[in-house]
């Protein structure tokens, strides 16, 4: 996540205030983890979820110099707690034994994706940090769903391309800086993103056969590849 100011250091009170909010998020993680006990069935699940949230906390402290997170970023932090639970439940196959509960947590994390943006617009508190925070959580959640598909449905490693395509795009922007140029608004991009998530959630349900799960995942990969291809072609023409 890129810094939102040129200063790499900031006053202790601001850092302290942010730390308190992050600690409250950690308490929320513990509370939800105890409430959703089947997802945190072993110490390994707790360690994985805690490590994920600790990484998020370190990045927030490193790149947010403004003290109070604000309500939009607090909602995003709440999403980070839910994504941490999704990540933690992957260890020792705990999510397979509580698949509907796991999917429910993932769906809530996805639904809250629109809430933090709406709050930011309503309160005029949009920031590059908030947008990047939100985007990185989306990317991580989709990658976790890909891992879940491999573990539950036995699909091949090719499924990781669905979650990894954005990271490949970011890596490609290093030798080709023109890929970093801003993209225009696109309903096609939004529609593909929605279908990508819906297809993966449907593929993960116990009601879906492995064959159908594979078809759904393949459709997500094909549409995503097409969407990235269109954007790359447009960026190449505008470079």
Say what the pLDDT of residue 14 is.
67
The pLDDT, as a whole number, for residue 8 is 43
Q: Is the pLDDT of residue 189 over 90?
A: no
pLDDT band at 228, cuts 50/70/90? very high
**pLDDT (0 to 100) of residue 129:** 85
pTM of the full structure: 0.87
Residue-wise pLDDT tens digits, 84-116: 999 999 998 899 999 999 999 999 998 888 888
Mean pLDDT score of the chain, rounded to an integer? 88
| Residue 2 in this model has a pLDDT that exceeds 70 | no
CA 100, CA 40: separation in Å to the nearest integer? 14
Per-residue pLDDT averaged across 18-36, rounded? 94
Please report the pLDDT score of residue 103 as a whole number.
Answer: 95
In the predicted model, is pLDDT for residue 9 greater than 60? no
DSSP 183: P
The mean per-residue pLDDT over the stretch 209-218 comes to 92
Question: In b/e form, how buried is each residue of 34-65, taking b as 16+ CB within 10 angstroms?
Answer: eebeebbbeeebbebbbebbeebbeebeebbb
Q: Are 23 and 59 in contact (CB under 8 A)?
A: no
- DSSP-assigned letters across all residues of 69-118: -HHHHHHHHHHHHHHHHHHHTTGGGTTGGGHHHHHHHHHHHHHTHHHHHH
Strands (E) in the chain, as ranges, are none
CB 103 within 8 A of CB 85: no
Q: Give the range among 2-16, 131-145, 174-188, 198-212 with minimum mean pLDDT.
A: 2-16
How does pLDDT run across 38-68, given as a tens digit for each residue?
Answer: 999 999 999 999 999 999 999 998 888 787 8
> What pLDDT score does 127 carry?
81
DSSP letter assigned to residue 137: H
What distance lies between CA 49 and its chain's CA centroid?
A: 14
% of residues, the chain, pLDDT over 90? 56
pLDDT for the residue numbered 85:
97
**Helix, coil or strand: residue 127:** coil
Question: Who wins on pLDDT, 43 or 135?
Answer: 43
Q: Measured between alpha carbons, how far is 131 from 158 in angstroms, rounded to an integer? A: 28
């Amino acid at each position: 996540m890129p810094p939102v100011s040129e200063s790499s250091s900031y006053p202790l009170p601001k850092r302290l205030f942010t730390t308190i909010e992050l600690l409250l998020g950690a308490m929320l993680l513990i509370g939800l983890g105890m409430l959703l006990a089947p997802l945190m069935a072993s110490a390994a699940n707790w360690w994985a979820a805690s490590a994920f949230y600790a990484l998020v906390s370190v990045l927030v402290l490193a790149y947010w110099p403004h003290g109070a997170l604000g309500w939009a970023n607090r909602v995003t932090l709440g999403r980070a707690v839910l994504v941490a639970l999704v990540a933690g439940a992957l260890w020792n196959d705990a999510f397979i034994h509580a698949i509907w509960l796991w999917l429910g947590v993932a769906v809530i994390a996805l639904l809250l994706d629109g809430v933090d943006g709406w709050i930011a617009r309503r309160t005029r508190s949009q920031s590059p940090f908030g947008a990047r925070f939100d985007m990185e959580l989306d990317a991580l959640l989709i990658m976790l769903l890909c891992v879940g598909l491999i573990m539950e449905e036995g699909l091949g490693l090719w499924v990781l391309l669905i979650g990894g395509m954005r990271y490949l795009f970011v890596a490609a922007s290093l030798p080709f800086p023109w890929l970093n140029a801003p993209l225009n608004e696109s309903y096609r991009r939004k529609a593909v993103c929605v279908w990508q998530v819906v297809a993966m959630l449907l593929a993960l349900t116990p009601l879906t056969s492995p064959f159908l799960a594979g078809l759904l995942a393949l459709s997500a990969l094909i549409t995503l590849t097409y969407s990235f291809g269109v954007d790359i072609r447009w960026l190449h023409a505008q470079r």
